[in-house]
Structure 1
Amino acid sequence: MLKDILMIIDRDRKISRSHISRELNIEDTLVDDGISQLIRMGFILEEEAGADCVVACSNCPFIKNCQKEIVKIFQISQKGKDYLAQR
């Protein structure tokens, strides 16, 4: 399941927890647990963007999705990329 979550994040770039849960046919809470494990393992990195964002909106790659709301952003780390390349 962790590999599947990692592959979906890598493939789709912009996704939601509900998107992953629907695709894998699992509960949202399992997706949350999987993402937490991937963060602990160092395969993905988590950032928050939104209300206290210091990037000017015109330069922000998330301008269409943000609307100054707190948005969690997950990126595949180099360790995660290396893992996916081996599979």
Structure 2
Amino acid sequence: MLKKVLKEIYNSKYISKRNIAHKLNISEELVEEALIQLDRMGYIKKNDNINNCNISCNKCPYANHCNKVPLKTITITEKGKKLLKLNDGEII
């Protein structure tokens, strides 16, 4: 289940617990617990503010809110990316 949540994070342009829960047919509480576990295990990193991101603003869905509203973002770590990759390099 953790891998499915991680895959949804990877495939989503906009990450929300509600969207992930809907796509995976699970509760938002279960998504929250999965995010906590993925963070604890080092597969994702939670960021409290978009201002620290490495995304160019023209590709960012939060560009209109940057520096106005603190946003929480999630980044998949290298460890998380390795978990998602098959031998041929494609994301499963």
Bucket of the pairwise TM-score, normalised by the shorter protein: 0.7 to 0.9
5+ residue gaps in structure 1? none
Q: What is aligned with 1:23?
A: 23
What is the aligned-residue RMSD (CA, Å)?
Answer: 2.3
SS of the counterpart of 2:33? helix
SS of the counterpart of 1:80? helix
Report how far residue 68 of structure 1 moved. 2.1
Where is the helix percentage greater, Structure 1 or Structure 2? 1
Structure 1 residues 73, 28: CA separation in 2 closer, same or farther (over 3 Å shift)?
same
SS of the counterpart of 2:79? helix
CA deviation vs aligned residue, 1:56-85 (integer Å, no higher than 9, x gap): xxx754313547222110010000001111
Where is the strand percentage greater, Structure 1 or Structure 2? 1
5+ residue gaps in structure 2? 87-91
Distance 1:36 1:54 in 2: 21
Q: Report % sequence identity.
A: 34
Deviation beyond 6 Å, 4+ runs, structure 1: none
> How many residues of Structure 1 are paired with residues of Structure 2 in the alignment?
82
